[in-house]
Structure 1
Amino acid sequence: MGVELPVSTMADMVGVAGAALAPLVKLLRHELLTRDVIHADETSLRLLDTRKGGKSCSGWLCAYVSGERSGPPVVCFDSQTGRALRYPETWLQCWCGGTLVSDGYSVYKSLADNHPGITSACCWSHAGRGFANLYKASREPRAGVELRKIAGLYRIEKLIRERCQRHDV
């Protein structure tokens, strides 16, 4: 047994909540854009278009996350209908620059190429996937060497994190 609510009522409630949270969203975004390191990653999702009779279309949800050790953690989301350069470029337009860490998607590299204050960096997890796939497919020895190097970096990072926690750094 449940309560029957028309979709329009639920949509109105989401709209009211969104309007009430808008000042907080603005503050979070402002705080994130003061950081020297921002991580960006996107995932696909279905977007409901109420103007088209409730039909859905493909869309993208991008998470922008503050870098480690740069203040309280901040995460902001941006929902768009595409993955083109203009979307992160618009969202990050007030960022003074720094390091943008991503999965290597070419749009983020283009963003850094177009804006001298932004440095593009890839995470080891995504970089390692290519080596792992190559090693699994062909047992390529050079891929195995690179995977061991990445594993070594992870061990060093773990030691640093543990040391920092012990010394409250």
Structure 2
Amino acid sequence: MPYCPNCGGQVNAVHHYCGSCGKALSDIAESESESPIAVERDGFLSLRSLSYVNDLWTGEQEFDRDSVSYKQLSREVSGALGDFARLAMVEDLDLLQLWAAGSKTDLLNTPKEDMNREQIQDWVAALGLGRTLRMYDDSLHTEFEDEFDARLQKLIEVANEELDDDQTPD
């Protein structure tokens, strides 16, 4: 296993950043022109944080609240939550409608294996919304996710009824 030239911490050959000191270990990391995870995406996390989260998820790195990577991830998530707070201050701004306006794909009628990149990004965003609610519930010991699921199901039913009405000839 290689070592970081900056702090001497152990790193995996596929790591783009040192998990201990945060030093860039590759040209990709230094330029941040490509994602260290093989996915093109838009989002609020830097490539360093994405690499850290991916390493936590795959078990290549242990969770460490004192690491530079964790501290950066914490700052980025705090910034994102602050941005969502600003969005919430705008009256009549519906987050689901805002997301749907940027979505140009039909997720409900496309099998995942037949999705193109844009459809996969929309699917991941929808999945992320659900997982965010689960994280909220886990953090605050609530059951909002179940209530949200029921409301979302009702919204889907209403939307399907409207679609059926629009397709019925006059």
Fold-level match, TM-score > 0.5? no
Q: Calculate the TM-score normalised by the size of structure 1.
A: 0.26
Q: Per residue, is there more strand in 1 or in 2?
A: 1
Q: Which has the higher contact order (CA 8 A, sep 6+)?
A: 1
